[in-house]
């Protein structure tokens, strides 16, 4: 299967509705309000991720009842802490957070960096299907890309010290890394202090709320030129 031949099934929305029947946030009014005019694009991505996710090895079978909270909204939370400029999402995988951010911010240039071929194919497929014209996909490891970006994101890729080593060469002179992390964020920063010093990066842990009833996402922002 290639991105030249694949297209979304005609009944993708119906399939997604069945798969996401247990997710209380699928189609919820508060989610529509959160995404505003970009909701239809984000929903189209979520539906295709539901339909194709398990078959393409992107989602486990237990993820469907919490797809919006754990994956879509968790990814969207980082948008509030992004500086302006070009963005690279490292280890983009299923498109989290990169595709979600590209859908939310259609004026921002977004590059999805993914070393695995089948995931790169998915990223091209889904970006085309939902009409994202601000996205390009590079099949490579971060250290192989050889370009500079204003912002680098990553979700569930590696600990902070490894991400600094792999991704700091991708940063423009005054660029920032904005990483989705969990409750161990402060410990990861402490373990990464020497790598951060070498890369001339300062670190801060930020809360990134979405819906009032959901726990805020934890974001680590690493900045140069601060």
Residue-number span of the structural domain to which 106 is assigned: 74-223
Domain count, the chain: 1
Do the domain assignments include residue 175? Answer: yes
Domain membership flag for residue 191? yes
User: For residue 86, is it within any domain?
Assistant: yes
pLDDT (average), residues 182-190: 91
Evaluated on CA atoms 16, 18, 24, 30, the torsion sign reads: positive
pLDDT tens for each residue of 129-170: 999 999 999 999 999 998 999 999 999 888 999 999 999 999
Asked if the structure places residue 39 within a domain, the reply is no
Q: Does residue 69 lie within any of the structural domains?
A: no
In a domain, 120, yes or no: yes
- CATH code of the domain covering residue 81: 3.40.50.150
Measured distance CA(63)–CA(151) in Å, rounded: 28
In a domain, residue 212? The reply is: yes
User: Residue 3: pLDDT above 70?
Assistant: no
The answer as to whether 47 is a domain residue is no
d(CA 93, CA 97): 9
1 pLDDT band, cuts 50/70/90, is very low
pLDDT single digits (tens) 70-93: 999 999 999 999 999 999 999 999
């Amino acid at each position: 299967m290639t991105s030249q031949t694949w297209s979304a099934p005609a009944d993708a929305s119906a399939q997604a509705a069945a798969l996401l029947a247990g997710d209380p946030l699928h189609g919820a009014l508060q989610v529509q309000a959160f995404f505003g005019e970009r909701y239809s694009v984000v929903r189209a991505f979520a539906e295709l991720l539901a339909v194709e996710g398990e078959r393409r090895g992107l989602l486990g079978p237990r993820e469907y009842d919490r797809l919006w909270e754990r994956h879509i909204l968790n990814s969207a939370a980082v948008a509030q802490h992004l500086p302006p400029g070009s963005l690279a999402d490292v280890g983009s995988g299923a498109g989290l957070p990169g595709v979600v951010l590209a859908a939310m911010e259609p004026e921002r240039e977004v590059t999805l960096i993914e070393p695995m071929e089948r995931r790169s194919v998915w990223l091209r497929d889904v970006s085309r299907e939902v009409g994202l014209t601000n996205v390009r996909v590079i099949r490579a490891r971060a250290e192989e890309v050889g370009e500079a970006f204003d912002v680098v994101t990553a979700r569930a890729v590696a600990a902070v010290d490894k991400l600094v080593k792999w991704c700091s060469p991708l940063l423009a002179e005054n660029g920032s890394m904005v990483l989705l992390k969990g409750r161990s964020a402060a410990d990861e920063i402490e373990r990464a202090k020497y790598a951060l010093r070498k890369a001339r990066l300062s670190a801060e842990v930020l809360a990134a709320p979405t819906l009032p009833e959901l726990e805020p996402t934890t974001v680590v922002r690493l900045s140069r030129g601060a």
